[in-house]
Amino acid sequence: MPSNPAAASIIAIGSEMLGPTRVDTNSLKITATLEDYGIALVRKSVVGDRLADLADEIRYSLAHSDVLILTGGLGPTEDDLTREALAQAFGLEMEVDESIVQRIEARFAARGWTMPVVNRRQANVFRGQTTLKNERGTAPGFHLHIERKDVWVFPGVPQELEWMLETYFGPWLQQWIGARARQRRVLKISGMTESGVEERLKPYYDAHDHEPLTILASGGQIEIHLIGDGKEEDAKAAIAGRERELLAIFGEKIFGFDGDTLESVIGRILTERRETVSVAESCTGGLVSSRITDVPGSSNYFMGGAVCYSAESKMFLAGVDPALIQQYGEVSEAVASDLAKGIRRRFHTTYGIGVTGIAGPGGGSEAKPVGTLHIDVADVHRHEHRKLFWPMTRSMFKWFSSQSALDLLRLFILRHER
Amino acid sequence: MPSNPAAASIIAIGSEMLGPTRVDTNSLKITATLEDYGIALVRKSVVGDRLADLADEIRYSLAHSDVLILTGGLGPTEDDLTREALAQAFGLEMEVDESIVQRIEARFAARGWTMPVVNRRQANVFRGQTTLKNERGTAPGFHLHIERKDVWVFPGVPQELEWMLETYFGPWLQQWIGARARQRRVLKISGMTESGVEERLKPYYDAHDHEPLTILASGGQIEIHLIGDGKEEDAKAAIAGRERELLAIFGEKIFGFDGDTLESVIGRILTERRETVSVAESCTGGLVSSRITDVPGSSNYFMGGAVCYSAESKMFLAGVDPALIQQYGEVSEAVASDLAKGIRRRFHTTYGIGVTGIAGPGGGSEAKPVGTLHIDVADVHRHEHRKLFWPMTRSMFKWFSSQSALDLLRLFILRHER
């Protein structure tokens, strides 16, 4: 068993991943395998095909971790330098394995082709180290013991990599670590900023000796990741305890867990209650409806919506009173409320959502600057309104506004239990 | 001017990108900017939030390049250690810039909030180095001169990063390198598969000695990237020649160039012609309207839309004839056509778009399986219909269907010039 917690690094090799269009996704599969065994990835990098740089990178990366995983650069061409770089980095000797040459020749022959001479390079292996047979392609992988650490070398072709992770790497981790160790729980918060969450967490940090929490902010919501290592039941119990504390701190601000989205949570609530919703939206341009309908089965509770980009359509689609538009303007509390009420009546739904605002970049004024948002949720008895301000790019404004509207619906339902 | 060719490195900071679910995409934007100036990226890495590791990584990475770009880790929380790591790596002194504190306070005040105390950390700057004002968020960036090399530090929030690349980094590269060295032109194709594009390119490849083209497929469209290096006029002329050949091959299948999207192209066409559009959509659930309204200024030509998730709403919002629903069902050519015609009449727009289909995973039948799609575009004189089949995940189905509908509108307008 390694030092606790064991640290891993990944190097992806190939200049094609250093351009502006392609990312390395192989590392995600490796990371998922590592996580299953509670091994933390401390760094990952992408390097091109300069031999000296590559050898440097390999040495540097292994110095910072217990286990190093390399992918790519095992092909037959002169750009494929992973073998040479490893030999240079660690002073290893190479030799040709004729049984691999024969395997590669057989693979070509099976397609009616002759093996190109360059493919002989793929039969170069490290003397005294473990070669990993590749049943999905031509390039073998390697498992090297270097300075009492482990270096794994896999092909970059996704199918070949996946097969090797399953066949060699997973079983080795199982033996190395003992058993799957890591448990994870994600709590999702809406309607707060990252620093607002941190503020509220102070007593929690104080109570737990400043044990760190992973907090991620993106797209108008915050995730808190709870991680538990060690024996499965103990880890689960520890996470459950922390979760209870966080629920006590954040209450209804926590809208969901793990894979939940605001729209999937709303879907679950509406389905359970056999209730329905409709939407009349202006500045979000259809995004609120589109997010609601991203959820499989949403046709059971979402009846439809109106995208009211003109004043007329607010009247003829959602039944807004023209006098209100006249008096308060299209972007106003009164019109947001009338949109919510009007669309609800039109669709005979339990709830109606109304959204109006100024997405920009044009259309703002001193009294109603770009970023102004009015949202409203109504049922047959009551309605709730919120005025918000999201001064940001057009697409961000649309997203944050949809987030605010969906969250208002969620809270409206939870607060007005029937 | 730097050594030729100059070498750049990128470090993305944040443990969230070391998990199994999220990749660093910020580096792609930085790489594209570097490429514009012919600067090669030699390595990129992702590191978490351990101070000593981070400082090591920064020193190692700068040793291997002329310019180093860091993103992320500039937030207000204790995990955000980029500033501290830089100070440690290069022995820099930090000080609080009170003008930044005031700017952050003002940003919070604009939303009616008080700045949390933790945000003061974001006003820590490096004595004697350049601080980059952030007009899109709270965290400033930095430009450091270290050992006669350049280190740029940007926030990890994509919008803030992009703004800083445009505002500070591009202009600096322009000065540093002298002029844009690399010319790039992207041609965008809709309504074809990647292998269909490759087929049609055969004569082109033959004519050009199999000189490779970069072809990227994503989200239902294909991009062909033309790249020219060398003297600006020569590179531009070479690209223009290739572009003419490709236009001759693909014709109207090429919907746009460079930063164009289908929705921005439609916006340009409608604006030029002073025409308008409205949408009645079922299975896309608002996505077609939402994409159209992603374009700034779309309120000039998009009047609104109806999301008709129920049979009733197809009648009362878009005026579909109940007899057609009765006879052909909600997912049918007849209903798609009536949605397009009906919504156009309702909104008095030049064009109407109708979309109906089965997104799944439920709701399919043998006659109308999941993935079935009917789209229709109408003006006052005529209409055009297409039946398509996109058997894929729900969200992919929605996206591909919106892509098909927007492309049908584009072609309908181009083919029926008045």
ipTM: 0.77
Which 3 state secondary structure label does DSSP give B243?
helix
The residue of B29, B223, B290 whose CB has the most chain A CBs within 10 angstroms, and thus the best one to mutate to test that interface, is B290
Average pLDDT taken over every residue of chain B: 91
Q: A359 to chain B: which residues are within 8 Å by CB? A: 293
Average pLDDT over residues A108-133: 88
Same domain, B82 and B198: no
A289 touches chain B (CB under 8 A): yes
Beta carbons of B334 and B361 less than 8 angstroms apart: no
The residue of B25, B289, B402 whose CB has the most chain A CBs within 10 angstroms, and thus the best one to mutate to test that interface, is B289
CATH of the domain at B300: 3.90.950.20
Same domain, A158 and A200: no
Instruction: For residue A31, give the nearest of B20, B32, B76 by CB distance.
Output: B20
Backbone angles phi, psi at B127, to 5 degrees: -60, 130
Same domain, B396 and B273: yes
Quickly tell me which residue has 């049609």 as its tokens: B200
* Close Cβ partners of B92 (under 8 Å, ≥ 6 residues apart): B86, B126, B127, B129, B144
Confidence of residue A276 (pLDDT cuts 50, 70, 90): very high
Same domain, A106 and A61: yes
pLDDT tens, B157-169? 998 999 999 999 9
First to last CA, chain A: 56
Average pLDDT over residues B376-399: 93
Decide if B1 is inside a domain.
no
User: Looking at chain B, which residue has its C-alpha nearest residue A39?
Assistant: B19
Confidence of residue A119 (pLDDT cuts 50, 70, 90): confident
- In angstroms, the Cα distances linking A366 to A328, A370, A397 are 15, 9, 18
Instruction: For residue B309, give the nearest of A23, A299, A392 by CB distance.
Output: A299
Backbone angles phi, psi at A34, to 5 degrees: -60, -45
The pLDDT score that the predictor gives to residue A353 is 98
Which 3 state secondary structure label does DSSP give A201?
helix
Backbone angles phi, psi at B225, to 5 degrees: -100, 120
CATH of the domain at A195: 3.30.70
Q: How far is CA B300 from the centre of its chain?
A: 23
Q: A215 to chain B: which residues are within 8 Å by CB? A: 77, 79
B293 touches chain A (CB under 8 A): yes
Same domain, B117 and B93: yes
Same domain, A244 and A300: no
The residue of A37, A39, A43, A201 whose CB has the most chain B CBs within 10 angstroms, and thus the best one to mutate to test that interface, is A43
The pLDDT score that the predictor gives to residue B56 is 95
Confidence of residue B177 (pLDDT cuts 50, 70, 90): confident
pLDDT tens, B335-380? 999 999 999 999 999 999 999 999 989 889 999 999 999 999 999 9
Which 3 state secondary structure label does DSSP give B83?
helix
Instruction: Name the minimum distance, in Å, from the CA of A267 to any CA of chain B.
Output: 15
Q: A196 to chain B: which residues are within 8 Å by CB? A: 116
> What's the total number of domains in chain B?
3
Question: Can you list the pairs that A217-220 forms with residues at least 24 positions away whose Cβ atoms lie under 8 Å?
Answer: A217/A193, A217/B75, A219/A399, A219/A403, A220/A190, A220/A399, A220/A400, A220/A403, A220/A404
Which of A77 and A365 is assigned the larger pLDDT?
A365
> Cα-atom radius of gyration of chain B, to the nearest Å?
26
Beta carbons of B404 and B386 less than 8 angstroms apart: yes
Same domain, B93 and B222: no
| Structure-derived torsion over alpha carbons of residues A13, A17, A23, A26, reported in degrees to the nearest 10 | -20
Which spans in B329-378 are helix H?
Answer: 333-347
pLDDT tens, A193-222? 888 998 999 999 999 887 778 888 878 899
B310 with A303: Cβ contact below 8 A? yes
pLDDT tens, B271-303? 999 999 999 999 999 999 999 999 999 999 999
Decide if A266 is inside a domain.
no
Which residue, of A146, A177, A208, is where some domain finishes?
A: A177
B43 with A42: Cβ contact below 8 A? no
CATH of the domain at B134: 3.40.980.10
The residue of A15, A31, A33, A45 whose CB has the most chain B CBs within 10 angstroms, and thus the best one to mutate to test that interface, is A45
Confidence of residue A281 (pLDDT cuts 50, 70, 90): very high
B106 touches chain A (CB under 8 A): no
Q: What is the spatial distance between Cα B211 and Cα B233, in angstroms, rounded to a whole number?
A: 21
Q: Lowest-pLDDT range, A327-336, B100-109, B340-349?
A: B100-109
User: Looking at chain A, which residue has its C-alpha nearest residue B402?
Assistant: A290
B43 touches chain A (CB under 8 A): yes
Decide if A2 is inside a domain.
no
Look at residue B179 and tell me whether its pLDDT is greater than 80. no
In this structure, the number of other CB atoms found within 10 A of the CB of residue A389 comes to 14
B29 with A18: Cβ contact below 8 A? no
Decide if A366 is inside a domain.
yes
A59 touches chain B (CB under 8 A): no
The pLDDT score that the predictor gives to residue B1 is 43
Same domain, B23 and B156: yes
B204 touches chain A (CB under 8 A): no
Q: A400 to chain B: which residues are within 8 Å by CB? A: none
Which residue, of A177, A192, A223, is where some domain finishes?
A: A177
Pairing state between β B130-132 and B351-357: unpaired
Q: What is the spatial distance between Cα B135 and Cα B343, in angstroms, rounded to a whole number?
A: 41
Helix (H) or strand (E) holding B141: strand B141-146
Look at residue B228 and tell me whether its pLDDT is greater than 90. no
Same domain, A36 and A153: yes
Which residue, of B115, B143, B177, is where some domain finishes?
A: B177
A300 touches chain B (CB under 8 A): no
Beta carbons of A336 and A356 less than 8 angstroms apart: yes
Decide if A159 is inside a domain.
yes
Same domain, A285 and A384: yes
Q: Bridge partners of B353?
A: B279, B377
B50 touches chain A (CB under 8 A): yes
Decide if A262 is inside a domain.
no
The number of C-beta contacts closer than 8 angstroms across A and B is: 233
Instruction: Name the minimum distance, in Å, from the CA of A45 to any CA of chain B.
Output: 4
Q: How far is CA A294 from the centre of its chain?
A: 17
Q: Bridge partners of A279?
A: A305, A353
The single-letter code of the amino acid at B225 is: H
> Cα-atom radius of gyration of chain A, to the nearest Å?
29
Q: What is the spatial distance between Cα A127 and Cα B106, in angstroms, rounded to a whole number?
A: 65
The pLDDT score that the predictor gives to residue A1 is 42
A19 with B31: Cβ contact below 8 A? yes
Which spans in B16-81 are helix H?
Answer: 26-36, 51-63
Q: Bridge partners of B40?
A: B7
A305 touches chain B (CB under 8 A): yes
Average pLDDT taken over every residue of chain A: 91
Beta carbons of A283 and A339 less than 8 angstroms apart: no
Listed by number, the residues of chain A in 122-181 with a beta carbon closer than 8 Å to a beta carbon of chain B are none
Instruction: Name the minimum distance, in Å, from the CA of A404 to any CA of chain B.
Output: 14
Same domain, A170 and A191: no
Length of chain B as a residue count = 418
Decide if B342 is inside a domain.
yes
Helix (H) or strand (E) holding A375: strand A372-378
Instruction: For residue A361, give the nearest of B24, B113, B296 by CB distance.
Output: B296
Same domain, A86 and A140: yes
Q: B306 to chain A: which residues are within 8 Å by CB? A: 304-307, 317
CATH of the domain at B226: 3.30.70.2860
As a three-state string, the secondary structure of A296-365 is CCHHHCEEEEEEECCHHHHHHCCCCCHHHHHHHCCCCHHHHHHHHHHHHHHHCCCEEEEEEECCCCCCCC
B292 with A285: Cβ contact below 8 A? yes
Look at residue B178 and tell me whether its pLDDT is greater than 80. no
- In angstroms, the Cα distances linking B136 to A343, B108, B160, B161, B171 are 35, 13, 5, 9, 18
Q: What is the spatial distance between Cα B380 and Cα B162, in angstroms, rounded to a whole number?
A: 43
The range of the structural domain enclosing residue A237 comes to 183-257
Instruction: For residue A195, give the nearest of B21, B119, B347 by CB distance.
Output: B119
Look at residue B388 and tell me whether its pLDDT is greater than 90. yes
Confidence of residue B248 (pLDDT cuts 50, 70, 90): very high
Instruction: For residue B28, give the nearest of A20, A298, A389 by CB distance.
Output: A20
A290 with B287: Cβ contact below 8 A? yes
Decide if A301 is inside a domain.
yes
